[in-house]
Amino acid sequence: MKIALAQLNYHIGNFDSNTAKAIAAIKKAKSEGADLVVFAELSVCGYPARDFLEFREFIGLCEDAAQKIARECTGIACIIGLPTENNNPEGKDLNNSAYFINDGRIAQRVNKALLPNYDVFDEYRYFEPSTEFNCIDFKGHRIALTICEDLWNTIENPLYITRPMDTLIEQQPTVMINIAASPFAYNHDEERIAILKDNAARYNLPLFYVNQVGAQTELIFDGGSMVFDNAGNLLDEMPYFEEGIAYYTLNDDASVTFTHQTGVRVNRESDIAQIHQGLLLGIRDYFYKSGFTRATLGLSGGIDSAVVCALAAEALGAENVMAVLLPSKFSTDHSLKDAEDLVNNLGCKSETIAIKDVTDAFETALAPQFKNLPFNIAEENIQSRSRAVLLMAMCNKFGYILLNTSNKSEAAVGYGTLYGDMCGGISVIGDVYKSQVFELARYINREREIIPENTIVKPPSAELRPDQKDTDSLPEYDVLDKILVEYLENRCSSSEIIQMGYDEAIVRKVIKLVNTAEHKRYQTPPILRVSPKAFGMGRRMPIVGKYLS
């Protein structure tokens, strides 16, 4: 049996596009002599469809699309993922399903059993878990078909009390196929390989795994579809962050041979290289799927805006990026030069709008109320909000989308101005710690200097008052980021972090800053997720909570 794995980029709710992609892949696979083409989880509607799933019409359109795809399956079979109505009146109204389509009709339906309900996943909100498991017979093989999480209950601390494969293996399948929508995080590829390897070896069966690729707002899917032999050896690994179709032959003895081998990675990509690829895909898909083409951002001469500008130019084309320099009376000459040098290196568009007169006008208007009180954070934030007003005016006038340039370290401790530098349509590096931003800048410069060296080596500063440095308000970033990783990603308490050897006063200050900034993060743009625990849909904290603050 010749199997094609179709690793495609879907668009949530875009049934015409998703159906056309599937049909094109079926025709291509058929021309290559494939017997079966396999698509990803919920490929018909895109993942995650979230509350679109509450619309009956949406579910009906999924079924209509599946019927269109079925009509193309003559001389070839396919497996597609979609939401379906739950036939049992008890429980949730929907199942997360896979259709096995053959001879122009839907021959069998398989429903997902293990529904993730943690971090960015919210499947039990919509779907009823399956309790029935049946293999699929096709071309002399018996297929144990599972959907994503159904194979993830092999870890030391299992989240579920059952394993679907424990039931399916009793039916003596000859191969496992798993369709997935597994989001990207920079450490997730190795975790996936370990889980899938364990399944293949545990059940002594070859395993074909297909993942989707592409970004859906903040979630990025990296592909990396894989094939394992029955001993758990990784035989082939499709490219990451790009679409493709790969072909394999499952022999009668359950061995796997290759038609077009794409190749197993001998050395895994570094975290920073993966983050770079993920962010490019995230930017590109956010704009394309939203129907926009042009971006703008405030370019300060600092490393955060420089990295975002370089990423945007690479993702969208430099001609589609407008960098706006917004110097204040506190901006240094070297910052302006660094920004101008970056613009020249990238070849993007730029404008310069001085904000001194704007901020002076605000301060004059507020003079009766401020009553000669000393300069403080109020005047600092007026500068940041003045910049935001001007940038949003550019968006309204010319149809740009504003890129937010706040990093994860700043977002964590609230080191940013609400309705100022925290505004934007999409937050590009809001899941990238400041120490990683420096690494990302070096990676962007790996072949030639794009980001000026001075931007990378100078002390970070918001330049909202004379001689300001980030370290006036925050610990050194190499210390801050390590504490943040322990708190945000490893979920360690302040006492646990202090026991690791960190200064008690610094730890308590950092965690208090994180918790008191929660209201700010509720009002920030969507953040492209590249880590195991990002701000946004995967982290749900009370604003007025007392614990740990």
> Residues with catalytic annotation?
41, 112, 148
In this structure, which long-range contacts are made by residues 508-514, counting pairs with CB atoms below 8 Å and at least 24 apart in sequence?
Answer: 509/475, 510/413, 510/475, 510/480, 510/483, 510/484, 511/483, 511/487, 511/548, 511/549, 512/549, 513/412, 513/413, 513/414, 514/412, 514/413, 514/414, 514/484, 514/487, 514/488
**Is 533 in a helix, a strand, or coil?**
coil
Residue 460 CA to residue 84 CA, distance in Å, equals 52
Cα distances (Å, whole numbers) of residue 26 to 3, 74, 388: 11, 10, 48
- The DSSP H or E segment spanning 108 is strand 105-111
Q: Are 456 and 440 in contact (CB under 8 A)?
A: no
Q: Are 200 and 228 in contact (CB under 8 A)?
A: yes
Residue 234 CA to residue 237 CA, distance in Å, equals 8
**Is 180 in a helix, a strand, or coil?**
strand
As a residue count, the chain comes to 549
The count of other CB atoms within 10 Å of the CB of residue 187 is 13
Residue 285 CA to residue 9 CA, distance in Å, equals 9
Q: Which position has the token pair 């730029």?
A: 350
Between the two ends of the chain, the Cα-to-Cα distance in Å is 59
Give the closest residue to 540 by CA, choosing from 494, 491, 480. 491
Cα distances (Å, whole numbers) of residue 201 to 147, 194, 204, 255: 18, 11, 5, 14
Residue 279 CA to residue 215 CA, distance in Å, equals 9
- Mark out the alpha helices in 399-527 (DSSP H runs): 408-413, 434-444, 453-457, 477-484, 494-499, 504-516, 518-521
Give the closest residue to 210 by CA, choosing from 201, 223, 221, 198. 223
